[in-house]
């Protein structure tokens, strides 16, 4: 029996979840699915210019795993560009814990989707600085997903 896949920490979301060649209806195109961890690896290494070691540490995976993810992502993107396929970005074994924020003043929890950006003021009390909830903050260890199970649809 193989070991369960470890969740990868992501902080970026694509501006659009579907990209397609111009002039063709999406219904006529084949789709290639790029997972969110593949998107994050491309964003960190190619867009932000991080070395693979730093990007892997940021995503809480090994450098070899990041290299494998990058190879898969580059192959999918090349397939879309050369063969005129649509690219859909969704799913994957990801953990968005770094995208949850807490207000130090009123203890309200917010997701990045509910806020304009991570540096915005608390919508409930107006406190000027929200704090990102870090991994292990719930106190149950590295593999605990209790905080993520409790936070659904922007509510605790």
pLDDT in tens, the chain (156 residues): 777 777 787 776 677 889 999 999 988 999 999 998 999 999 989 988 999 998 998 888 899 999 999 999 999 999 999 999 999 998 887 776 556 677 778 877 766 555 555 556 777 788 877 776 654 444 444 444 544 444 444 444
SS3 state of residue 97: helix
**Residue-range domains of the chain with CATH:** 8-95 (1.10.10), 97-150 (2.20.28)
In angstroms, the first-to-last Cα distance of the chain is 34
pLDDT value of position 108: 75
Q: How far apart are CA 90 and CA 92, in angstroms?
A: 7
Return phi, psi of residue 115, to 5°.
Answer: -110, 160
pLDDT value of position 147: 44
Q: How far apart are CA 38 and CA 59, in angstroms?
A: 11
pLDDT value of position 73: 96
SS3 state of residue 146: helix
pLDDT value of position 150: 45
**Computed over its alpha carbons, how large is the radius of gyration of the chain?**
18
Around Cβ 71, how many Cβ atoms within 10 Å?
A: 12
């Amino acid at each position: 029996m193989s070991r369960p896949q470890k969740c990868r920490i992501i902080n970026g979301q694509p501006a659009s979840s579907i990209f397609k060649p111009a002039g063709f209806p999406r219904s006529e195109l084949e789709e290639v699915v790029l997972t969110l961890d593949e998107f994050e690896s491309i964003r960190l290494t190619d867009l932000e210019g991080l070395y693979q070691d730093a990007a892997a540490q940021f995503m809480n995976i090994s450098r070899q795993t990041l290299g494998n993810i990058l190879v898969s992502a580059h192959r999918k993107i090349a397939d879309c560009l050369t063969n005129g396929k649509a690219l859909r970005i969704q799913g994957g074994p990801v953990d968005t814990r770094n995208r949850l924020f807490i207000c130090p003043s009123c203890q309200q929890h917010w997701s990045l989707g509910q806020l304009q950006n991570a540096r915005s003021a608390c919508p409930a009390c107006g406190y000027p600085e929200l704090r990102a909830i870090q991994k292990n903050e719930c106190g149950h260890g590295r593999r605990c997903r209790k905080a993520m199970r409790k936070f659904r649809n922007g509510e605790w």
